[in-house]
């Protein structure tokens, strides 16, 4: 290649829409959790029952060191994960995407605290509780944990997403269970935070060209079905506390949005690398919607050959 050779990245706008639609669906889900569990008397009674069950199950149980809340939410652990995100972005040459991913947990925490303290109020509908209850929806801790897990999956290559989605989901599940057991938040707070963070990261993913290989049909089905199942089983094995139904509910509530997010960003070929030996910016490549690695290579080969022939013709 000569000095005039340029490399351009063309992004198909159609690949952004799945992430946008899924992100809006997560946001609607978070709003539905608030309306059903916080905005109705039946929901508040159910919320209180799950909350009391989580606190009772936490008492007198010796948790493994790794499952303690102060360990799992230690800022040092978050710093290590943030460094892993940045290092991954540098290695795979997506530094800007890595920087955007680093901002995601902060945005999730700020959004959760803003909603809890300045926007949402908790109506007093549960007649069994005579005193007014402060609003705790949503949880900043859970939103941050979910945000940093999804940010790591966003910047990771395909194989690492598929390997890491279950451990990330298990971690967020156990953090959520501990937060409920310590009496910090209710089930509605945790569930709404998970969906809120998933909505924010999905919309960020729509603006970041992820690229890479696409997730095939068989792998897609296996991930969608096997991911939540594996998360539930591992979380139940690791969690020694009674009231295991709550752990299972949290595992499903965390793993399903996380797995859907991974499948959506891995299914779309968000970026197409086009080599233009004439130094011209290619616009035709933005129309390509790749269905396989082989098709992508064929298109690139055809484009390069055609452009080389055109360059030769111009120089003659």
- pLDDT tens-place string over residues 54-84: 888 877 666 666 666 676 667 787 788 888 8
| Residue 34 resides in a domain | yes
Q: Of the ranges 31-35, 170-174, 220-224, 251-255, which one carries the lowest mean pLDDT score?
A: 220-224
Tell me: do 298 and 184 sit in the same domain. Answer: no
Tell me: do 98 and 161 sit in the same domain. Answer: yes
| Residue 227 resides in a domain | yes
β partners of residue 9: 273
Tell me: do 237 and 89 sit in the same domain. Answer: yes
For residue 99, pLDDT beyond 50: yes
Average confidence score pLDDT of the chain: 78
The more confidently predicted of residues 114 and 128 is 114
Round to whole Å and give the CA distance between 259 and 166: 8
pLDDT at 158: 84
pLDDT at 1: 44
Tell me: do 164 and 261 sit in the same domain. Answer: yes
| Residue 134 resides in a domain | yes
Domain range enclosing 301 = 272-315
Percent of the chain exceeding pLDDT 70 equals 72
For residue 247, pLDDT beyond 50: yes
Tell me: do 187 and 307 sit in the same domain. Answer: no
- Please count the structural domains in the chain: 2
| Residue 2 resides in a domain | no
Q: What is the rounded average pLDDT of the residues 269-290? A: 38
Tell me: do 300 and 185 sit in the same domain. Answer: no
Tell me: do 300 and 259 sit in the same domain. Answer: no
CA nearest to 214, candidates 248, 172, 285, 262: 262
| Residue 4 resides in a domain | no
Tell me: do 193 and 277 sit in the same domain. Answer: no
Q: Which two tokens stand for residue 229?
A: 């199942």
Tell me: do 287 and 142 sit in the same domain. Answer: no
pLDDT range class, residue 278, cuts 50, 70, 90: very low
- 3-state DSSP: the chain helix, strand, coil percent, rounded to 5? 70, 5, 25
Q: Please state the pTM of the whole predicted model.
A: 0.78
Tell me: do 180 and 285 sit in the same domain. Answer: no
DSSP 38: I
H helices then E strands: how many in the chain? 11, 2
Tell me: do 67 and 179 sit in the same domain. Answer: yes
């Amino acid at each position: 290649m000569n000095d005039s050779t340029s490399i351009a990245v063309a992004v198909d706008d159609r690949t952004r829409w799945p992430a946008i639609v899924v992100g809006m669906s997560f946001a609607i889900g978070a709003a539905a959790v608030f309306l059903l569990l916080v905005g109705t008397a039946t929901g508040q009674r159910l919320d209180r029952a799950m909350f009391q069950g989580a606190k009772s199950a936490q008492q007198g149980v010796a948790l493994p060191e790794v499952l303690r809340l102060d360990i799992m939410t230690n800022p040092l652990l978050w710093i290590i994960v943030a460094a892993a995100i940045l290092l991954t972005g540098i290695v795979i040459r997506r530094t800007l995407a890595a920087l955007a991913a680093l901002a995601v947990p902060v945005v999730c925490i700020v959004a959760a605290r803003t909603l809890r303290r300045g926007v949402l109020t908790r109506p007093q509908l549960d007649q069994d509780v005579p005193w007014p209850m402060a609003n705790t929806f949503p949880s900043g801790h859970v939103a941050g944990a979910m945000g940093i897990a999804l940010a790591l999956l966003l910047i990771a290559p395909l194989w690492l997403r598929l390997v890491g989605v279950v451990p990330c989901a298990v971690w967020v599940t156990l953090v959520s269970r501990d937060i409920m057991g310590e009496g910090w938040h209710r089930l509605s707070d945790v569930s709404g935070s998970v969906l809120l963070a998933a909505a924010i990261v999905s919309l960020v993913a729509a603006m970041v060209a992820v690229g890479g290989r696409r997730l095939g049909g068989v792998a897609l089905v296996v991930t969608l079905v096997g991911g939540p199942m594996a998360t539930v089983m591992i979380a139940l094995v690791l969690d020694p506390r009674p009231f295991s139904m709550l752990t299972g509910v949290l595992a499903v509530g965390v793993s399903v949005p996380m797995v859907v997010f991974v499948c959506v960003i891995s299914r779309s070929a968000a970026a197409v690398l086009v080599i233009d030996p004439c130094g011209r910016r290619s616009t035709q490549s933005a129309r390509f919607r790749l269905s396989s690695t082989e098709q992508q290579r064929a298109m690139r080969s055809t484009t390069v050959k055609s452009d080389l022939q055109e360059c030769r013709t111009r120089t003659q």
